[in-house]
Amino acid sequence: MDFTLGLFLAIVLSGLIWLVDLLFLRKRRPAESKEPVIVEYARSFFPVLFIVFLIRAFLFEPFQIPSGSMIPTLRVGDFVLVNKFQWGLRLPLIHTPITRGSPVEAGDVMVFRYPKNPRIDYIKRVIGLPGDTIEVKGNDLYINHKLVPQKYIGTFDYRPEGQGAEGMVIPAREYAQELGGHTFHIIEFDTPEAQMNFGPFKVPPHAYFMMGDDRDNSNDSRFWGMVPQRNIVGKAMFVWFSWNAEDWSIRWKQIGRSLDGAIS
């Protein structure tokens, strides 16, 4: 079940128990009798749950990276903090916008509800804004018919997911790319099978074109289409924790990594 929905139901249930006791049951209890355990728990948990709900719904929400589609920027097991208010506040559960907020910019890292299944959250980088024309030719990205330049960084040792620390390493190329004031790294492969052509395609109004930084291993807008504005969850800001489940280690160098701006 959706965590936000579960949290909301817990708030409603604890609030009702506390309210019913306050308005009706407390008056009927003898003065010397103890408060029922269920009422005590409801009274204690209600304010805590309510505050957590408000923070998650309108301020910040944690998100765990589920796949390697954002390598080398984000790894499986990274935990990022998502800003829920910068792009405008939305009512929880029904996702109706209530404030405008700042505009989404190319290069931002966005958490959004997957258009094919809104119960699943995805994280990708914003490549195309409404009205932009996007085209991919092999490993070259064009926005509004202009090639997005990329600077070669070096060879990247790519290790497929699920193969452990001793898994096969595939050499890839690492590049630095810049979009909308954001400088970030991407990886690409030399094999013809990894390269693909897409577009040209014009991004419709109130929608965004998304791609992963692992350009050849990302299930993104090239395959399932645009992200409607109503599907936005929030802007990923930085990595607050990173855990490598394959060798049970903490990635200390990844913790604190900013996703909002240039690479340090």
| Per-residue pLDDT at 263 exceeds 80 | no
Sign for the pseudo-dihedral over CA of 46, 49, 54, 59: positive
Residues forming the active site = 69, 124
For residue 138, list its beta bridge partners.
196
- For residue 95, is it within any domain? yes
pLDDT reported for residue 8: 95
Let me know whether 112 and 197 are in one domain.
yes
For the chain, the domain total comes to 2
User: How far apart are the C-alpha atoms of 109 and 124, rounded to whole Å?
Assistant: 6
**Residue for token digits 């790894």?**
75
User: How far apart are the C-alpha atoms of 189 and 155, rounded to whole Å?
Assistant: 10
pLDDT reported for residue 264: 44
Domain range for 35: 3-58
pLDDT tens-digit series, residues 201-258:
999 999 999 999 999 999 999 999 999 999 999 999 999 999 998 888 999 999 999 9
* Identity of the amino acid at 93: L
pLDDT tens-digit series, residues 129-168:
999 999 999 889 999 999 999 999 999 988 766 555 556 7
- For residue 75, is it within any domain? yes
pLDDT reported for residue 109: 97
DSSP notation for 171-217: EEEEEEEEETTEEEEEEE--SGGG-EEEEEEEPPTTEEEEE-SBTTS
- For residue 259, is it within any domain? no
User: 96: helix, coil or strand?
Assistant: coil
Distant-in-sequence, close-in-space partners of 97: CB < 8 Å, separation ≥ 6: 88, 89, 90, 230
Residue where one domain finishes, among candidates 18, 35, 58? 58
| Per-residue pLDDT at 1 exceeds 60 | no
Let me know whether 133 and 197 are in one domain.
yes
User: How far apart are the C-alpha atoms of 75 and 78, rounded to whole Å?
Assistant: 6
The chain-wide mean pLDDT, for the chain, equals 91
User: How far apart are the C-alpha atoms of 77 and 160, rounded to whole Å?
Assistant: 14
